[in-house]
Amino acid sequence: MIIPFKKEGLYASSLRVNSEEKLVIAVMGQDILLHASQDSVPRLAIAAEDADILKFFCVNRVHLGQWWGSDCEVWELMPEASGCDGFVAVELRTLLAQSADAEFSLASRAMQLVDWHKKHQFCGQCGASNRVSETEHALVCEPCAIRQYPRISPCVIVAVVSGDRCLFARHPNWPENRYSTLAGFIEAGESAEQALHREVFEEVGIEIQNIRYVGSQAWPYPGQLMLGYIAEAKSENIKIDGVEIAEARWFKYDQLPSLVAPTTIMAGRLIQQFVDESKAVYG
């Protein structure tokens, strides 16, 4: 028996609950189409009847799970869909920067599933076409009996702190005053902690200690899972690699760079926590 999900926001189930209300997330390239009804703000989850007009431009439909208990599909659309009345295209990055946690997960998942389907149409071993599993979120090659699942790539992101200061780095292609925390992919065979020590040492030449886990967030570029941490630096002597990082500096909690990430994304959340904790001690 399928029990309908009653909790808040996204439930990434592979099974449908056959809810009365059906919802659609409309993905078009790197954009998401929001439904701009006249009486409210544009909506990410579009009622199926409102999405009907988009069917003509739909090239793939994937069941995504439930959104507030209602079955939800993501539709991959041709660029021509942008001309449909009542819809507004928003770039995914812009949407994520402005979204609350629940909407953030929903948009991320929709984009990731579309991308995964597009890139895993054929078996990596024999080259035969994969088919969509009816029982779980998987693509199946029958001859090889191989099941492919959406690929999730764990990354670590860390605010390295020293007393009332936090280490910020600037990437070579970023503007002069834009800085962020350090981040990198976890390598095969590594633990998250090992990845943290390695990434920080490789990028800025600093050893860390007292690592604290803060939280995680899906980040769809593509399929990353950001694991967020705060760690203490053993020393303040920066040695940058000059390749991944153009510049790294210590900033006091009340004199941060002018351009830092919004708190809707993990980097911003770590920075905010550092500021709050510093205020409590030094403020």
Binding site for Zn ion (CB under 5 A): 123, 125-126, 128, 141, 144
- Specify the residue, 142 or 241, whose C-beta has the smaller distance to Zn ion: 142
- Integer Cα distance of 179 and 167 in angstroms: 9
Q: CA 107, CA 131: separation in Å to the nearest integer? A: 24
Q: How far is the CB of 243 from Zn ion (least distance, A)?
A: 38
Which of residues 78 and 128 has its CB atom nearest to Zn ion in the complex? 128
For Zn ion, which is the closer residue by CB, 130 or 278? Answer: 130
What are the structure tokens assigned to 158, written together? 């860390």
Q: Are 228 and 157 in contact (CB under 8 A)?
A: yes
Least distance to Zn ion, CB of residue 124, Å: 8
Closest distance to Zn ion from the beta carbon of 115 (Å)? 21
Nearer to Zn ion, 53 or 126 (CB): 126
The rounded Cα 280 to chain-centroid distance in angstroms is 30
Q: How far is CA 230 from CA 200, 204, 205, 212, in A?
A: 12, 16, 17, 5
Comparing CB distances to Zn ion, the nearer of 141 and 196 is 141
Q: Least distance in Å: CB of 23 to Zn ion?
A: 34
Judged by DSSP in three states, 43 sits in: strand
User: 3-state DSSP call for residue 11?
Assistant: strand
136: its two tokens: 């779980």
Is residue 219 within 8 A of residue 266, CB to CB? The reply is: yes
Backbone angles phi, psi at 98, to 5 degrees: -105, -5
Least CB distance to Zn ion at residue 151 (A): 17
Minimum distance of Zn ion from residue 145's CB (angstroms): 8
Exposure of 126 by Cβ count < 10 A (0-12 exposed, 13-18 middle, 19+ buried)? exposed
> Min. distance of Cβ 121 from Zn ion in angstroms?
12
H or E element in which residue 73 lies: strand 70-77
Cα separation, 167 vs 240, in Å, equals: 12
For Zn ion, the closer CB: 125 or 153 = 125
Q: How far apart are CA 28 and CA 146, in angstroms?
A: 29
- What secondary structure letter does DSSP report for 2? P
Q: How far is the CB of 149 from Zn ion (least distance, A)?
A: 15
Per-position b or e across 235-267, b if 16+ CB within 10 A of its CB: eeebebeeeebeebebbebeeeeeebbeebbbb
Nearer to Zn ion, 121 or 263 (CB): 121
Q: Which is nearer to Zn ion, 79 or 127 (CB)?
A: 127
